[in-house]
Each structure stands twice: as C-alpha cells, then as structure tokens.
Structure 1
Amino acid sequence: MSDGGTKKFSVTIPEELAATVQARIGKGSFSAYVSEALARQIERDNLRELVSAAESQHGPVERSAVEAKRALLRDDAHEHVSGNSSAA
C-alpha cells in the first residue's frame, strides 16, 4: 500500500466514531486503522468505477444474475469451510 513515505493530516471526525474506533483498537495505532479504512474505500471506489465502465459498455447487469453468482460463491465458500467437496 505504501512506498514507505507518510504524510500527516488533521481530520475532524464525530466524537462517537472516534470513541468506537479507540474502543476497538485499544492502544493500537489510530492512524494505521484510518489508513486501512481509506485503502478499503479506495478499493470500493475503484470497483464502482469499473462496474460503471462495464455497464456503460455492455449494459446493466440483471439483479437476478448477480444473486445467482452470489449464491454460487456462498455455496463454494461453505464447501471449503466445512471440508465438503462436490467432486466425489
């Protein structure tokens, strides 16, 4: 994620959110937690841009097709976790 350099920023966040983060990380690095959250948000933004570009080129994806793929992924994940295999 980083090439070693850092830059200091001053940000303002709601007190309740800061307290929740602090309770979760304890004496851990608040900055590291925020950096990881920002990296995840950038990944989401990039994915949204990719989906938008694909939809503009190929048209929108049908919701039923998305749900069918999710079901397949959930099934596959369940098989790996439980140790089951569909191949006999």
Structure 2
Amino acid sequence: MSGGTRKFSVTIPEELAATVQARIGSASFSAYVSKALARQVERDNLRELVVAAESQHGPVDRAGVEGKRALLRTEPEDRSGGHTSAA
C-alpha cells in the first residue's frame, strides 16, 4: 500500500484520541492511525483466510492449536526431548 495519501475526516471518542495523543506525543497522529488501519486490514484478511480454510477443511482444532502454542513457548532443547542434533 504505497502511493499517495488521501485526507479523511473521522470522528473518534475523545478519551481514545487523548490516549493516542498521550502515547505518541509529537509524532504524527495520522501515521499512527494509518498503521492501526493497516494492522486491522491484515487481521481481516487473516480472518477471511481462516473462514475459507475452515469451509474447505472443517473447523480448526482449538486443542491442537493450543498444543502447538505451548510447544512454541518451550525451549528448543525441550522440544526434541532433550536431544540436540549433531552438526
């Protein structure tokens, strides 16, 4: 998403605007909002991908996902049962 820019007028809650302004200080409010919107588009795209995959392959196995997350949180030597590969 590169190229020119376009100006929009948006309305956001005062408390949210104050929180963002306090967080970014003198940095660009527009840049912060642009990054937030880009992240939301990425999340929407991922959600659409999951929906498409689930429609083709069935629902995601939540227990399997949690098991993989737990595995990723372990130390590398713990993942191989204490064995390291010889180089």
Q: TM-score range by the shorter chain?
A: 0.7 to 0.9
Asked if residue 49 in structure 1 is aligned to residue 25 in structure 2, the reply is no
Structure 1 residue runs of 5 or longer lacking an equivalent are 80-84
- Structure-2 residue corresponding to 1:40: 39
Aligned CA RMSD, in angstroms, stands at 1.3
TM-score by length of 2: 0.84
- Measured in 1, the distance between the counterparts of 2:43 and 2:53 equals 15
- Measured in 1, the distance between the counterparts of 2:35 and 2:71 equals 29
TM-score by length of 1: 0.83
- Structure-2 residue corresponding to 1:70: 69
- Percent identity between matched residues is 81
- Measured in 2, the distance between the counterparts of 1:72 and 1:29 equals 39
Point out which structure has higher relative CO (alpha carbons under 8 A, 6+ apart). Answer: 1
Runs (4+) off by over 6 Å: none
Structure 2 residue runs of 5 or longer lacking an equivalent are 78-83
Aligned residues: 79
- Measured in 2, the distance between the counterparts of 1:51 and 1:74 equals 23
| Residue-by-residue CA offset, 1:25-80 (whole Å, 9 max, x unaligned) | 001000000000000000000000000000000000111001011112222xxx4x
